[in-house]
Amino acid sequence: MQFQDNFFWGAASAAYQVEGAYQADGKGQNIWDAYCQEGCRVAHGENGNVACDHYHLFRQDVEMMKKMGIRYYRFSINWTRILPDGTGPVNEKGLQFYSDLVDALLENGITPMITLFHWDYPLALHQRGGWMNADSSDWFAAYTKIVVDALSDRVQYWMTINEPQVFIGVGYCTGRFAPFETHQPKDLARISHNVFLAHGKAVQTIRQYAKTKPCIGFAYATPCWTPEDTTPDAIEAARQKSFRVDRDNFTFSAAWWADPILLGDYPQEAYDVLGADMADIQPGDLEIISQPIDFYGANIYESKAVPTPYGYAENAYIGCPRTQMDWPVTPEALYWGPKFLYERYGKPILISENGMASHDWVQLDGKVHDPQRIDYMKRYLREVYRCIQDGTEIMGYMYWSILDNFEWADGYDKRFGLVHVDYRTQQRTIKDSGYFYRDVIQSNGAAIFQDTLKTY
């Protein structure tokens, strides 16, 4: 059993989580740069100042990707590395870094996939109101054009924005991520609408100026409820939960974020539950927001459930397997999640993030043995295969993440990578899971159906 011949096998990263070099070569500050320096926002007072030093070690990292057989590398652009103040003069050294990275990938047979925004909002623009400012979508479009002008001769695949559910829901609603603010629903709806306009204007910009025919999508966190059984009623109940919009949690909804782009309007449920707090939609806004895109990037790690103060939520049970993030291991999420999305929106699905944090360290033999991650990958990828066989169009799978890295408010304790990073020395060690993924790619997926554990 194998995946289709053109299946995208890749891995992902995000600029702030891996690059480091936070003051190098004229780079400006973003909100994570600024607020992490306060020392009280992140576990152990950590920050992304150095992270994996991917900025200086990217050639070594690309060589490791080649060794693992990685065919696609999804990475993000650090806005302030290119525009230190978010707008204004271009920092040519920052732009050159990304050009050199793209060249290195192509030289090693790896296709670059660019995400334009992965949470590192320019501090100077945040101080001007950030996503609350009506000009924010134009700022983003101008930034997009600079990147497209510089890289689109060699880059075909683009994702505009990563996980607005998280950078807004956790950054501006619950206040756990930068900029560590809490806002009321009316402000959250306004922020969301400006993010939508930024996405739409970015799509327009890419289409107008790209030198290579672009393939454009986004990468959204996708809350997915899975059915309790395979009866029609249970499946429909899970589908409804996966797309519902609640007033208290609307910024985390899949439908809130995907419907305006792919169906041309906010879901009716949003108008119903928000009422007067709904975004102020001006004539022409929805036309900008719903610019045609080519694929839906879905970041899926687990099936969702309503948390409970005591007992177990519906996606867990006594003694259930959990990752280091305390997320239940629920492989069926990569069957039902893409299936529900494809049925609702009709766009090809790219699994733009999936992976697990585990307790990894370099063992006495100098290797990193992570059999739990290999088992996780087998289980989840088998569900992807089953989903494809049942008719869902899935383009590919981007493992999160290529390197252990800065895991936002959790600092460096949580290790998601296929490559272990000793943050004291920057020593890289490919984990057993990295070699297993090489076997998966070389066999076009056949390796996931082997139950025996191979020694690496």
Active site residue ranges: 163, 353
Per DSSP bridges, beta strands 8-12 and 427-430 are unpaired
Listed residue (24, 30, 23, 14) closest to 178, CA to CA: 30
Position of tokens 């053109």?
Answer: 6
For residue 358, give both structure tokens: 């585990």
3-class DSSP state of 304:
coil
Beta bridge partners of residue 356, listed in sequence order:
none
Tell me the one-letter amino acid at 191: I
Listed residue (263, 225, 8) closest to 111, CA to CA: 8
CB 437 within 8 A of CB 421: no
Task: Give how far Cα 85 sits from Cα of 80, 127, 395, Å.
Answer: 6, 10, 36
Kindly tell me the sign of the dihedral angle through the C-alpha atoms of 20, 23, 24, 27: positive
Listed residue (426, 408, 323, 413) closest to 15, CA to CA: 408
What end-to-end distance do the CA atoms of the chain give, in Å? 23
3-class DSSP state of 300:
coil
Rounded distance between C-alpha atoms, residue 342 and residue 320, angstroms: 29
Residue 173: Cβ within 10 Å count: 23
Task: Give how far Cα 130 sits from Cα of 162, 169, 384, Å.
Answer: 17, 15, 38
CB 41 within 8 A of CB 71: no
Rounded distance between C-alpha atoms, residue 456 and residue 441, angstroms: 16
Alpha-helix residue ranges (DSSP H) falling in 263-304: 268-274, 285-289
Per DSSP bridges, beta strands 419-422 and 72-76 are unpaired
β strands within 37-137, DSSP E: 72-76, 111-117
Rounded distance between C-alpha atoms, residue 7 and residue 33, angstroms: 36
Q: How far is CA 394 from the centre of its chain?
A: 17
Task: Give how far Cα 262 sits from Cα of 108, 164, 266, Å.
Answer: 35, 16, 10
